[in-house]
Amino acid sequence: MTTQPLPFVPHGTPPLESGDRLTRSEFERRYAGAAQIQKAELIEGRVFVASPLRFRQHSEPHSRLHGWLWTYQIATPGSRLGIKLTVRLDLDNEPQPDIVLLIDTACGGRVQITGDDYLEGAPELVIEIAASSAAIDLGDKMQAYRRNGVQEYLVWQAFENQLDWFQLVDGNYQTLLPDEDGIIRSRQFPGLWLAIAPFRQGDMTQVLAILQQGIVSSAHQAFVEQLQQALQDNAT
């Protein structure tokens, strides 16, 4: 008598794999059950599971950008800074950006911190670190950020040694260009200045020196006063 093999009956949570087309709720369910996955994103309804991260391509520039933003954030009461966090943009997009800088809701910011401790909505500034210009960060993800109203979007492309900083203007991203001194100045966060050439060369001493000039500028001081006034207004 021939024994027939038993049919395969799946059980538990299905795996989370790149290319899956999922709803946001199903993406979150599978992600929660995939403890071995360090980073996965839902972009325009499609799952992207991240590859292992390299030091010079990702980790080192990430630490430099974070240090630059952290220095600004501690000098700017009412702003908040986060790294490698899940952001619920809309029903088809749940990215995990490398860094976000946002305005606290108590000071007039738009993004909410949910009861289960995720961000919901569009942070004012999002930073992504990409291996090259061919990465998803400058494709579908950029369009998702644009459509959901992320005001400024910064992408570091390690292979090209290039940084692109975009500003949302009338629903479209326009490139923020360096001034005659080689400095890009944020429109959303006054005083957030980045010296492009020193950053590309890894000269963080000069990058932070230029940032300090932005922090003591009259535009930054006025911005801090604006945030503090909004905090007082919301408290009354």
Domains along the sequence of the chain with CATH: 53-235 (3.90.1570.10)
**Spatial contact of 48 and 79, defined as CB atoms under 8 Å apart:** no
Going from the C-alpha of 44 to that of each of 48, 79, 140, 143, the distances in angstroms are: 10, 28, 7, 9
pLDDT at 38: 83
d(CA 93, CA 148): 10
Give me the average pLDDT of each 10-residue run along the chain (236 residues). Answer: 50 79 91 87 90 83 96 97 95 95 95 94 95 78 96 92 95 96 98 97 97 98 97 86
User: DSSP 3-state assignment of 76?
Assistant: coil
pLDDT at 19: 85
pLDDT at 141: 93
Q: Identify the CA nearest to 61 among candidates 79, 43, 83, 42.
A: 83
- The DSSP result for 157-211, as a single string, is ETTTTEEEEEEEETTEEEEPPP-TTSEEE-SSSTT-EEEHHHHHHT-HHHHHHHH
pLDDT at 18: 86
Distant-in-sequence, close-in-space partners of 148: CB < 8 Å, separation ≥ 6: 89, 90, 93, 121, 122
pLDDT at 6: 46
pLDDT at 15: 83
Burial class (CB in 10 A: 0-12, 13-18, 19+), 169: exposed
For residue 57, give the DSSP letter.
Answer: I
